[in-house]
Structure 1
């Protein structure tokens, strides 16, 4: 028994030494142009999903099925999200193309997260992914419109997304001066664009 104990301790110490040598010798490739191993990808994704699901349960979600709120969110989405994630009809910009892991397609990702989870991600960010914690510089009330927009995103295409932007001038924390006159309270036919108010959010193996 004593011999077995000594063997186990020696093995553990050698393993720690080997890992330390590997790390401090600079052998681990930290470049963003090298893909993660399958194990590392699984570990990071699984850990993130479990953490976000747990944290999102404690978020008090307001009523997001509101046309004006969605219009407020689209300009903030353009300013805060599109460069890395892209949008319907838009590819990610140069910064987003260089991220590793890549920023997820939010039309896909939004189908697998609840509103509370999306808010928590936007507010607190995700470590070691390039996802910033927008709550550091934005109040909660300025983040919920983005969540409202995200909840509709899976139902939008390039044309309906552009139509929403057209009616969102001067709205949101990052008001967009490129839009046309604000018709937030007009009888605009936007029902297809905001039809998606809730999803049955099932977590799977997709990256979010």
Structure 2
């Protein structure tokens, strides 16, 4: 047994040295023009499917065949999903064609995946694929409406899709409901979903630590926001939702942060003291 443990330790050390050499030697080609190795793709695909199935196991699927829900789902799909996934007779946008891995053909996905799994992905997204977590952009009813429409995709011909979308109103998202109490933990997750780490160093969030904007360490104990506003919850919410209202010269962009997300952002930032 002792020899076996020594052999395992030696193997692990060898693999660690090899991995370090590959990473720090820049040997692994990360370009989008270099496709995954077939075993890598299969391993990641199996891991993804098992992860989703585990987390979606307890989701209760509502009725999905009501015409208003399907019409709403079609409108939202045409506004937010077709750019990457395409539709019957409709190609994805050029930028999506070069993504690695390529966005799934959802007509096939709808045949293979149960609705609960589809909902989980629409709601939570998938890291390392470009698929966002739509829970921060669509209301709960809209998430299910998208799932309902995706379930119908395998039945549609290109002509069907063209006729259905011809007279559609814009797929505007419903206003997200506002809870009575902000949720700082959700705010932390939401800040990651709004890509705040691309400009700020934020404790608790993993990202590039790009010093474009000021670091947010200790922001909860600072006296002022952007040097002009008292650091109070309502002021922080205003700043997060409309920074140019406060300082027109600020490089802080208007990210379209919803009321609830801004409340949760502010609650998390208040903990960083």
Structure showing greater radius of gyration is: 2
Instruction: Specify the alignment match of 1:65 in structure 2.
Output: 65
Give the Å deviation of 1:10: 2.7
- Separation (CA, whole Å) in 1 of partners of 2:94 and 2:133: 21
Give the Å deviation of 1:56: 2.1
Residues 68 and 7 (structure 1), Cα distance of their counterparts in 2 relative to 1, 3 Å cut: closer
Instruction: Specify the alignment match of 1:140 in structure 2.
Output: 140
Q: Map residues 172-187 of structure 1 onto 2, 5 A cutoff.
A: 173=173
Residues 40 and 75 (structure 1), Cα distance of their counterparts in 2 relative to 1, 3 Å cut: same
Unaligned runs of 5+ in 1: 175-208
* Range with bigger deviation, 54-63 or 106-115: 54-63
Q: Deviations over 1:39-97 (max 9, x none)?
A: 10110110111112222221121111111111111121012111111001101111210
- Separation (CA, whole Å) in 1 of partners of 2:124 and 2:10: 41
1:40 aligns with 2:52: no
Instruction: Specify the alignment match of 1:196 in structure 2.
Output: none
Instruction: Specify the alignment match of 1:128 in structure 2.
Output: 128
Unaligned runs of 5+ in 2: 175-273
Residues 70 and 39 (structure 1), Cα distance of their counterparts in 2 relative to 1, 3 Å cut: same
Instruction: Specify the alignment match of 2:111 in structure 1.
Output: 111
On the 8 A contact 1:123/1:135 being kept in 2, the answer is yes
Q: Map residues 15-30 of structure 1 onto 2, 5 A cutoff.
A: 15-30=15-30
- Separation (CA, whole Å) in 1 of partners of 2:162 and 2:45: 32
On the 8 A contact 2:139/2:173 being kept in 1, the answer is no
Instruction: Specify the alignment match of 1:154 in structure 2.
Output: 154
- Matched length: 174
1:53 aligns with 2:53: yes
Say what the alpha-carbon RMSD is for the aligned residues: 1.9
Q: Deviations over 1:143-178 (max 9, x none)?
A: 11111111110000111112222343256528xxxx
On the 8 A contact 2:137/2:173 being kept in 1, the answer is no
Instruction: Please give the TM-score of this superposition, normalised by the length of structure 2.
Output: 0.60
Instruction: Please give the TM-score of this superposition, normalised by the length of structure 1.
Output: 0.77
1:9 aligns with 2:9: yes
Residues 70 and 13 (structure 1), Cα distance of their counterparts in 2 relative to 1, 3 Å cut: same
Q: Deviations over 1:80-122 (max 9, x none)?
A: 1111110011011112101111011111111011111111010
